[in-house]
């Protein structure tokens, strides 16, 4: 509320006191005759007082605005009101101190304010450039879930413009199940009092096609100085490719796990005294490797897939007479032993290498070597690289 109107209302309320006294002493009829006169005089006095008090404050506010723009030569008008005059004198002293400081450092006051404005503009420009370059959008919500900020990149993923999202509940842009999940997550984050970034994978609804889009977000809870939850600051991007890749990785891990099971069955058979001359691991068209080699800590080959001859030219019987160093091109037996010691510590490794064929030619491969601790052996799954 403006000061002028506040003072006017206060004066009108004070005028009710004499009206009440007259009613008590002379009755309602007398008050009716003088009511208009009393209100007119009161209103006139109220407007005069409010003008007398508020105008110096209005002028002082205008002067401060000029100072904030870099004009330190503003003449501050004196006031008849003691408190306002003291405030004006204090501001005069601040301006004098500022002028003195500027003079000592040898910089013109115009430069200071121009540099401040320029720095602000440059910071805003860099922020806008960053928003355009990053592959995703930045958004914020308050403690009620209302979106308060949103960058333009949201349109490329969800089809909405920032204006269509800002001011709305963010939950309206998610399917019901994901909206409920997001509300629960926000509640947990608000109670944890931690400002660490949190990864959230949620479906969002696209505006045009109404199909869900898999979005990965990184959200930081915001708290005020007393620890009250204020909302979230988030960065989001389309994570559909991530989802496909993660699904593919899960499938590969399952196939690898199945291969390990087959290998353990073979090892179990060997521990019972059965020779490993029958097919240990069959090669099928959907496997993610071309052949496998099993060898011990001395690099002696113990077993391999039956179709090894198609890949390297060695028969399975010939392979069982070799060491892994005989298969690997450009690495000595000593190098192989050293690398096996390192794999024991790490558990597994994946490297690019060159394997030697029986006819002396070579083939570029990717090796995934895993240490089987329970049997003290190594399994190498090999995939031929295409050059």
And the tokens for 64? 């401060």
CA distance linking residue 306 with residue 129, whole number of Å: 58
Per-residue pLDDT of the chain (387 residues; tens, 9 = 90+): 455 666 667 666 666 666 666 666 565 566 566 666 666 776 677 667 767 677 777 777 777 777 666 666 677 777 666 667 777 777 777 777 766 666 655 555 555 556 556 666 665 566 565 555 566 888 999 999 999 999 888 888 899 999 999 999 999 999 999 999 999 999 999 988 888 888 888 999 998 876 888 898 989 999 988 889 999 998 898 887 766 666 666 666 666 666 666 665 655 555 454 444 343 444 444 457 888 999 999 999 998 888 888 889 999 899 999 999 999 987 888 889 889 988 998 888 888 888 999 988 888 899 999 998 878 889 999 998 865
Compute the Cα dihedral for 149, 152, 153, 158 and give only its sign. positive
CA distance linking residue 262 with residue 287, whole number of Å: 13
Let me know: does 379 contact 292? Beta carbons within 8 Å. yes
The strand pairing partners of 138, in sequence order, are 235
User: What pLDDT score does 248 carry?
Assistant: 64
And the tokens for 251? 């499938």
The strand pairing partners of 237, in sequence order, are 216
DSSP helix/strand/coil, 180: helix
Q: Where are the beta strands (DSSP E) in 15-157?
A: 137-142, 147-150
Q: Is 372 exposed, middle or buried (0-12, 13-18, 19+ CB in 10 A)?
A: middle
The strand pairing partners of 212, in sequence order, are 205
Q: Is 20 exposed, middle or buried (0-12, 13-18, 19+ CB in 10 A)?
A: exposed
Q: Which domains does the chain have, with CATH numbers?
A: 3-105 (no CATH), 135-238 (3.30.450.20), 249-384 (3.30.450.20)
Please, which residues have CB within 8 angstroms of residue 221's CB and are 6 or more apart in sequence?
189, 190, 192, 194, 195, 198, 229, 231, 232
User: What pLDDT score does 286 carry?
Assistant: 46
User: What pLDDT score does 276 carry?
Assistant: 42
| pTM of the complete model beyond 0.85 | no
Q: Which residue has the tokens 């892994």?
A: 324
Q: How far apart are the first and last CA of the chain?
A: 77
């Amino acid at each position: 509320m403006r000061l002028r109107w506040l003072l006017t209302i206060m004066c009108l309320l004070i005028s009710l006191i004499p009206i009440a006294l007259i009613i008590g002493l002379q009755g309602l009829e007398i008050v009716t005759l003088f009511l208009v006169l009393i209100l007119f005089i009161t209103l006139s006095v109220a407007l005069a007082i409010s003008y007398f008090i508020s105008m110096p404050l209005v002028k002082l506010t205008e002067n401060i605005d000029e100072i904030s723009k870099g004009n330190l030569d503003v003449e501050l008008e004196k006031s008849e009101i003691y408190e306002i005059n003291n405030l004006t004198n204090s501001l005069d002293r601040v301006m004098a101190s500022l002028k003195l400081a500027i003079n000592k450092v040898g910089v013109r006051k115009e430069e200071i304010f121009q540099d401040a404005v320029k720095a602000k503009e440059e910071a805003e420009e860099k922020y806008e450039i960053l928003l355009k370059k990053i592959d995703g959008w930045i958004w914020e919500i308050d403690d009620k879930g209302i979106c308060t900020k949103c960058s333009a990149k949201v349109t490329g993923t969800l089809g909405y413009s920032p204006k269509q999202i800002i001011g709305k509940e963010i939950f309206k842009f998610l399917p019901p199940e994901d909206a409920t999940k997001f509300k629960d997550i926000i509640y947990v984050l608000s109670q944890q009092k931690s400002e660490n970034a949190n990864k959230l994978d949620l479906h969002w609804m696209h505006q045009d096609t109404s199909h869900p889009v898999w979005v990965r977000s990184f959200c930081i809870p915001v708290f005020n100085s007393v620890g009250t939850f204020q909302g979230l600051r988030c960065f989001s991007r389309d994570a559909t490719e991530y989802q496909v890749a993660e699904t593919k990785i899960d499938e590969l891990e399952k196939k690898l796990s199945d291969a390990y099971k087959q290998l353990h069955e073979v090892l179990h058979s060997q521990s019972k005294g059965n020779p490993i001359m029958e097919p240990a691991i069959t090669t099928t068209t959907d496997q993610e490797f071309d052949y496998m080699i099993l060898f011990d800590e001395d690099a002696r080959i113990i077993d391999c897939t039956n179709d090894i001859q198609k890949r390297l030219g060695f028969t399975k019987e010939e392979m069982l007479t070799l060491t892994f160093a005989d298969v690997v091109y450009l690495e000595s037996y000593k190098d192989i032993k050293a690398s096996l010691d390192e794999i024991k510590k790490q558990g597994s490794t994946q490297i690019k290498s060159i394997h030697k064929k029986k006819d002396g030619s070579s083939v570029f491969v990717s090796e995934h070597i895993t240490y089987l601790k329970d049997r003290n052996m190594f399994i190498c799954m090999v995939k031929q690289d295409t050059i």
